[in-house]
Amino acid sequence: MPKDKSKYTKEENKKKTKSSGKGEKLADMSVDATIINEPTEEDLKKEVKIEKRIKVRGKKYQTVKKMVDKSITYSPKDAFELLKKVSIGKFNQTVELHLNVLSKGLSGEVSLPHFTGKSRRIAIFNDEIAAEIKLGKVNFDVLLATPADMPKIMPLAKVLGPKGLLPNPKNGTIVPDPQKAAAGFSSKAVAYKTEKDFPLIHASIGKLKQPTEELVANLDSFIKAVNLKNIKRAFVKSTMSPSIRVSFS
């Protein structure tokens, strides 16, 4: 008896259906063959990253954003008064200062006349502090040391360096007399430095509910510490607000 051609065709097609092993499935190698491209794990990861980068602002933010004229710069007083109007949210937000400076490597500290942040913890290096650092315990914001202490401190650089806590003569944390130097370090001073790869400085200079005059005074002190000659552009914003460009002329 002659073979059933339709049955033979189906069996052959099953044999010819195979996987390439590279994210492609060969469905049918007959005349009407199609290639089904299945997404690889790498493709799926890329899609997730793209979704994370897309950040849609709410209607309230879009509304207040229109109140800021991006074509002009505001005086410090006008900038802070506008900031109070365009900050969404009921909590007492942090007032941020963002500076675009001329070069990387700028760093220092400034005492703000109307400081509202937490006080800095100042420590003087000794064997007890060294033992705590080795255990991963860093309970200070500034570490003072003598030049003779540095051979003991350098093995701890992997812990202190990334946190910006490694003593350095440039910022006055390596001194002959740490006890005396500690008195000159304001526990309420704000430290600043540019980003590692970009000439940008970011700092907190107050709280939104502070009087405008206090915020202006804090901003003025910070700008003087960095030096106006080093600054290309300056912006203020709160935790939940658009940025406002500030002029100092």
Q: Tokens representing 155?
A: 């093995």
Check whether domain 121-185 has CATH 3.30.910.20, yes or no: no
* Domain boundaries defined on the chain: 67-117+189-249, 121-185
Helix (H, G, I), strand (E, B) or coil at 240: coil
Q: Write the CB contacts of 79 (distance below 8 Å, at least 6 apart in sequence).
A: 236, 244, 245, 246
What was the pLDDT predicted at 218? 95
CB 182 within 8 A of CB 173: no
d(CA 53, CA 49): 6
Residue 4: C-alpha distances to residues 15, 31, 49 (Å): 17, 20, 53
What was the pLDDT predicted at 39? 62
Q: Tokens representing 162?
A: 């990334």
Helix or strand run (H / E) with residue 207: strand 200-207
DSSP output for 157-221: HHHHGGGT-S--GGGT-B-S-HHHHHHHS-TTEEEEE--SSSSEEEEEEEETTS-HHHHHHHHHH
Q: Say which DSSP state 111 is in.
A: E
Residues belonging to the chain: 249
What was the pLDDT predicted at 4? 53
What was the pLDDT predicted at 108? 84
Which pLDDT tens digits describe the chain residue by residue (249 residues)? Answer: 555 554 545 555 554 444 444 444 444 444 454 444 566 666 655 655 555 554 566 788 888 888 888 889 999 999 999 999 988 877 889 999 999 999 988 888 888 999 877 667 889 999 999 999 999 899 988 899 999 999 999 999 999 988 889 998 877 899 999 988 887 676 667 888 899 889 999 999 999 999 999 999 999 999 999 999 999 999 999 988 889 999 986
Helix (H, G, I), strand (E, B) or coil at 6: helix
What was the pLDDT predicted at 30? 47
Helix or strand run (H / E) with residue 206: strand 200-207
Q: Say which DSSP state 222 is in.
A: H
Model's pTM, two decimal places?
0.58
d(CA 120, CA 108): 14
What was the pLDDT predicted at 40? 67
Residue 33: C-alpha distances to residues 1, 27, 38 (Å): 30, 7, 16
Checking DSSP bridges between strand 94-101 and strand 231-238, what pairing results, if any?
antiparallel
Sign of CA dihedral 125, 128, 133, 138: negative
Residue 90, amino acid: K
d(CA 37, CA 22): 9
When the candidates are 3.40.605.10, 3.30.70.980, 3.30.190.20, 3.40.50.1970, the CATH number that belongs to 67-117+189-249 is 3.30.190.20
